[in-house]
Structure 1
Amino acid sequence: MTLPIQGQAAVDQLLDLLDLEQVDPATFRGESPQTGAQRVFGGQVAGQALVAAGRTVSPDRQVHSLHGYFVRAGDPSVPITFHVETIRDGRSFSVRRSTAKQHDKTIFFMSASFQMPEEGLDHHTPPPTGVPAPEDVPTMRDWVERYPERMGMFKSSPQAVDVRYLGVPGWVPPGDREVQPEQRVWMRINGKLPDDPLIHACALTYASDLSLLDAVLSTHGEVWGPGGVIGASLDHALWLHRPFRADEWFLYDSASPSASGARGLASGRMFTRDGRHIASAVQEGLLRRVGA
């Protein structure tokens, strides 16, 4: 069984995706990996949109939040053009709107806010307890070797993110899934990233779209693909609370507070191995039964 590119080679491909071509001071162009996928991965276009926005902001201001909407499926066979609008540059904050287009139509847009570092009140809720270390959790290779017929997207997509489920992945066959009140995953970029905080923020944005909607499925014991549901991200929000490195392990602790109207809402908190709460994410996705 041939597995996709992993490790630093896959991370280097991710860095190439995030290294947008600058067309003019407010316009950038990005590519997609040629993997045979029918649409662009949502985390990719969100990460690229954040790169475009960040390149128009003074480097002493770091992203602290973003809110994005997935409007149309992206076409991986053609470049994506990103236009950045400067909404405001204040004394402490800068706000940008980054719009991604293909075929003269918007496929995604994002508002992102950047802040000059400041001191202030500091607290956070503790991370979950009793969580096994990432080294003690099955790797994605372990799951793929157990269910090779469900490889799906893993057949050709470079695996720049090391994802280790504490429970059961959302694509495991029906019958092997159980109801879980939460979805917990260890993650890290599977190689070395440069020290640029913007790159780490964009890499975390990319990774944050990988497993969040699994929390909706785990609440019902449902599964992606045959025998279950198909889905797509509708909108995505991310808040960055504390400094971090996306190439070091973080725990993505997710749950779903609601699902209705063929939509599911999931929220997640990200913690470093030493328990620092580095980020929070919320996403709503479209979930339809296969064949519906």
Structure 2
Amino acid sequence: MARSLPGVTVQLLPFPAADYAAWRAAQVERRRRWQFTPLWADDAAATAQAREAVDELAPAEGLSGTQLLRVLDSDGDDGWVWLMRQERDLLVLDAESDAPPDRLLALLEAHARAASATALILDRMVAAPTTAALAAQGGFTVVSQTMALDLADAVDTEDGPPVTLRPMTDASFAAYLDAAVDEYAREIRSTDHVAWGEALDHSRKDYEDLLPQGRASAGHVLLDVVESQAGARVGALWLEVRPPSAAFAYDVYLQPDWRGRGLGRAAVGAAARWCRGEGVRVLGLSVFGRNAAARALYDSLGFTVVVEALRRPVEPAPPVAGPR
């Protein structure tokens, strides 16, 4: 596919199979450096995660599966883009190109339009320069962000009401799961614009996949958040410990009646202290783009964005006028 734009002609062509092995090795290194090292705090663990991610998504020998395409401009070879079709969207998994970002974005939108996609999604590592340049063109909204907190540098604050953490009981886990599945389904429905039944099924499956043995699932820690003065259970904290020195907060949940009182900040602070006590060096989490309050909270606590998904609608091609 080619589009002629003033001053530059940019094309997307099949990626040469002879260059695939080198691209694959470079992609593993990019993922290790920019995605997994900030979230795992250990080079060996980050490398293993990067290889697994590339193994899962990379096209076989550069010829099938997800699309790996070469970028050509008027001066010749100018990099590559890695794409994947997902339902109604075209995902840009990664890209590296010196082509003018406005030209490259226009070409990607044309590619999405030709594939009948309704949106272009940048699934970008924020440190990657080409996807940063594409995002800077504007028109994107944040779908989700994955953030990390370096616990060695984070300020140990106890702002807000004091909270304590205690292991969930069967009863408190059941109550948390019912509320969390429902809330997550609502986020899915709002973000993906799907029917309620589909969103609820998706939510239940995600929880079942991540917690196959409930609160006894290996590697997962499920804690009640208790407001210390009243002694009331006000929420929940769900962590996955990632050896040797990382943890990921799948959920920091507060019951609706207890929100807006500073307890979210206190719960995250308690989670950070718990992690330090377990020898954890970095705490990661993900947040929906629509949740502006949570994003602002995590930013104020020193979390930095590692990976984010950005969405840009793709306008359909105008209808071709028929003969008169």
Q: Normalising to structure 2: TM-score of the pair?
A: 0.28
More helix by share: 2
Structure with more contact order per residue of length (Cα contacts < 8 Å, sep ≥ 6): 2
TM-score w.r.t. length of structure 1:
0.30
